[in-house]
Structure 1
Amino acid sequence: MTDDISILICEDQTLMRHGLRTILELEPGIKVIGEAADGAEAVKRYAALRDEHNAPDIILMDIEMPHMNGVQATAALIKANQQAHIIILTTFDYEDYVFDAIKAGAMGYLLKDVPASELMTTIRQVHAGEPFIQPKIANKLLIEFGRQGRNAKAQPSHSQAVVEDLSPREIEILKLLAEGASNRKIAERLVLAEGTVKNHVSNILSKLQIENRTQAANLARERKLF
């Protein structure tokens, strides 16, 4: 008899987190050993479980969370624990989210509307060391990789980016990006339409000549904008 696959759930919505736990615990061979309500808590919880010689086999990671989002938490977990197997489970299939999550080290990327059977299959596949991304998301990822490859030689380094070219509103939004805020959260915070925020983010990336939100957030930290 094989050992159960142990799971750590990282999801900020309590109802969703408890629902996931219920679904997972109904599946033979799956065992939930911990929960976290945000990325920072997930990093701490993983470390505590590892120190108890009970590190989870799989981490189910949401993207949009307070304090530390799923991409940042994934990067932190992989940096500290190369054996961490992370599956992003989210409502968002934005190109930059997909690219950043995979680049950070996630081995799976699923939307939350998948059937429970597909989630279980993905958990077992990733546990076996095989990455999995839903086909419709994989297409976006391929497009993003292709675009980055074409633009790589033309892009200046982060050190060449000129933050001073940004408007006061764009600086405001860049600071919130550095905090891990989504377009929706930024829109709520600044009382703007989400479409307006998306346009501002596109302008920021264009002006700074960088590829994605993660690079923008890193640049904001380097320049000590918050």
Structure 2
Amino acid sequence: MPSYKNDSVHGSGYLDPASKDLLDVHMSMREEPDLGADPIRVVIADQDHIFIEGVASLLKEWEEFELVGKAFSLEEAYELCSREKPAFIMMGVTFRGESCAPTVKRLCDADSQLRVMVVASMGESGFVLDALRAGARGFGFRDEMSADRLRSLLWAQACGDIAFSGSLGTVLQGALLNGRPTDASDSVESSYFDSLDDRETKVLALLEEGLSNEEISQRLFLSVSTVKKAINGIIQKLHVSNRVQAAVVSARYNRG
């Protein structure tokens, strides 16, 4: 099975969504008893109607997927999955401020074969932690979501992989799934976060999303050296050892 890169960088191991290799993988998947010969059935659920319609338009262009329903609330998502029995659902990580984690758990308890992917916006990493622990198998960030990246994430989910969007490191992936990946303390005093200046707070939010120094530089229109200086300040002020621990404790702090 080829390995997937969930970003737009064409490097070693990258599998283009339109490649013949990917088509071959798809055809072999269709031979699996649990997938059958039909397109893979997908439900999308989100409070953002424009986002849902955009994803729906893309799914219509990709013959390997079949959109079987749209939901705009957590209860609608659960009822739709119960009725349509999709292969997987892509859903927003929050609905009007409410975490999707309890619904993810209900869905996974009701159908152990259902694959759940959550979509988050900046600052929602704490909710992503909850959703992954509830049974979600992947996530993507709206701000980074291109058509190719979305297709790759859906493919990874369909193949049974755990799929993360962006440049999130393996250590932080372990944090999201297992809860205690680092030796960072379980809680960080709020005064530590209060000591961060505005730039450090913005950089920390992007660290939490898994962005690299170069990506943070582009997003905030800062030099890479300035980003590195801000990260060093964050590490010192939060009393952690590295950027991964800073991201983990920030996610826990924001989750509340």
Q: TM-score range by the shorter chain?
A: 0.5 to 0.7
Gaps of 5+ in 1: 50-54, 156-210, 217-226
**Corresponding residue SS for 1:77:** helix
Q: Quick one: which amino acid aligns to residue 10 of structure 1?
A: A
1:82 aligns with 2:117: no
Kindly indicate whether the alpha-carbon contact (under 8 Å) linking 1:74 and 1:105 is maintained by their aligned counterparts in 2. Answer: yes
Kindly indicate whether the alpha-carbon contact (under 8 Å) linking 2:92 and 2:120 is maintained by their aligned counterparts in 1. Answer: yes
The one of 118, 121, 125 aligned to 2:149: 118
Q: Quick one: which amino acid aligns to residue 77 of structure 1?
A: L
Kindly indicate whether the alpha-carbon contact (under 8 Å) linking 1:95 and 1:140 is maintained by their aligned counterparts in 2. Answer: no
Kindly indicate whether the alpha-carbon contact (under 8 Å) linking 1:39 and 1:72 is maintained by their aligned counterparts in 2. Answer: no
State the partner residue of 1:42.
77
Inter-partner Cα distance in structure 1 for 2:88 and 2:53: 17
The one of 64, 85, 97 aligned to 2:127: 97
Kindly indicate whether the alpha-carbon contact (under 8 Å) linking 1:95 and 1:141 is maintained by their aligned counterparts in 2. Answer: no
1:56 aligns with 2:86: yes
Inter-partner Cα distance in structure 1 for 2:126 and 2:79: 26
- Give the Å deviation of 1:31: 0.9
Q: CA distance change for structure 1 residues 93 and 137 in 2, over 3 Å: closer, same or farther?
A: farther
State the partner residue of 2:53.
18
What pairs with 1:131-146 in structure 2 (closer than 5 Å)?
Answer: 131-138=162-169, 140-142=172-174
Inter-partner Cα distance in structure 2 for 1:132 and 1:101: 13
- Across the two proteins, how many residue pairs are aligned to each other? 155
Kindly indicate whether the alpha-carbon contact (under 8 Å) linking 1:34 and 1:45 is maintained by their aligned counterparts in 2. Answer: yes
Question: When the two structures are superposed, what TM-score results if normalisation uses the length of structure 1?
Answer: 0.58
Structure with greater proportional helix content: 1
State the partner residue of 1:129.
160
Name which of structure 1's ranges 137-146 and 109-118 shifts more when overlaid on structure 2.
137-146
The one-character-per-residue Cα deviations of 1:45-81 (angstroms, maximum 9, x if unpaired) are 11112xxxxx111101101214953222211111221
State the partner residue of 1:189.
none
Q: CA distance change for structure 1 residues 93 and 84 in 2, over 3 Å: closer, same or farther?
A: farther
Q: CA distance change for structure 1 residues 10 and 25 in 2, over 3 Å: closer, same or farther?
A: same
Q: CA distance change for structure 1 residues 147 and 125 in 2, over 3 Å: closer, same or farther?
A: closer
Q: CA distance change for structure 1 residues 45 and 137 in 2, over 3 Å: closer, same or farther?
A: same
State the partner residue of 1:65.
95
- Give the Å deviation of 1:136: 3.1
Inter-partner Cα distance in structure 1 for 2:82 and 2:96: 19
Q: Quick one: which amino acid aligns to residue 23 of structure 1?
A: L
Question: What RMSD in Å do the two structures reach over aligned CA positions?
Answer: 3.0
Q: CA distance change for structure 1 residues 68 and 85 in 2, over 3 Å: closer, same or farther?
A: same
